[in-house]
Amino acid sequence: MVELVAGVEGKGIPDGLPAGRQARSRGVSFEASTDGNEPETGPATRLKNFGIELLNMKFYKVSWKELETDCFALYKKIKKYKFDRILCVSRGGLVWARMFSDLLGNLPISHLTAVSYTGIHKQKNVEITELPEHKKLNNQTLLVIDEIADHGKTFAKVKEYLRTLKIKKYYTLAPIIRTYIKPRPDFYLKIIDDWIIYPYELKETYKAFLKIYKTKEKALKMLLKNGFKEDNFKGLF
């Protein structure tokens, strides 16, 4: 199921945007760490968890044009709010934060890095590995941006951190969320359960496909099938 909505949580408005397909989860990082842990949504982890189901996974490729259109659609919903600063959840929120900074009158951007790791049969935990300069956030109304709200733990961890600061208020924004996420961010546009592929993660997607489909030929074929152009990645792999 794909639901297309716009605006504030609880007030979704159909936007007539193209529907996608349903799957389980998306990849965020694809390299296992040397201590036996690996990023919690990495394909190797999902391969162990779901086995052959991964081979039948469906994908939703976001084009640059769609990304731009989605930014404009969300901007129309948030432009009446007064923000002092964007807090970007890196790396996923980087592109979106830059675009919203422009649309909101060149708002300053602070960065926070949150990473999720898990071991075998261990709970998934989010760790904040890089923090912004605290003084810049004091007495500010923040717009916290990430590229997707998947399990909700990243925003929860960020909120936990923000409660330790003397800020005025904060809002959360993710263009895409999952059907099962609770609570939902303050602003979102689409509800999609497919594996989301953004246009700025070409090599990352290739590495994921290589782990899933085992051969370079099949991985490249999947890149083509999911909207990447051969001229753009020729010679990269």
What does the pLDDT profile of the chain (237 residues) look like in tens digits? 455 554 444 333 223 222 232 232 333 333 333 344 444 444 444 444 444 466 678 899 999 999 999 999 999 999 999 999 999 999 999 999 999 999 999 999 999 999 886 543 444 788 899 999 989 999 999 999 999 999 899 999 999 999 999 999 999 999 999 999 999 999 999 999 999 999 999 999 999 999 999 999 999 999 999 999 999 888 898
Secondary structure class of 144 (helix, strand, coil): strand
What CATH number belongs to 2-226? 3.40.50.2020
The helix-helix angle for 216-225 and 202-213 (nearest 10°) equals 130
Residue type, 155: F
Phi first, then psi: give them for residue 64, nearest 5 degrees: -60, -40
Task: Tell me the C-alpha distance between 40 and 215, whole Å.
Answer: 23
Residues 6+ apart with CB under 8 A from 48: 120
> What is the pTM assigned to this prediction?
0.78
Domain assignments of the chain as residue spans, ordered by start:
2-226
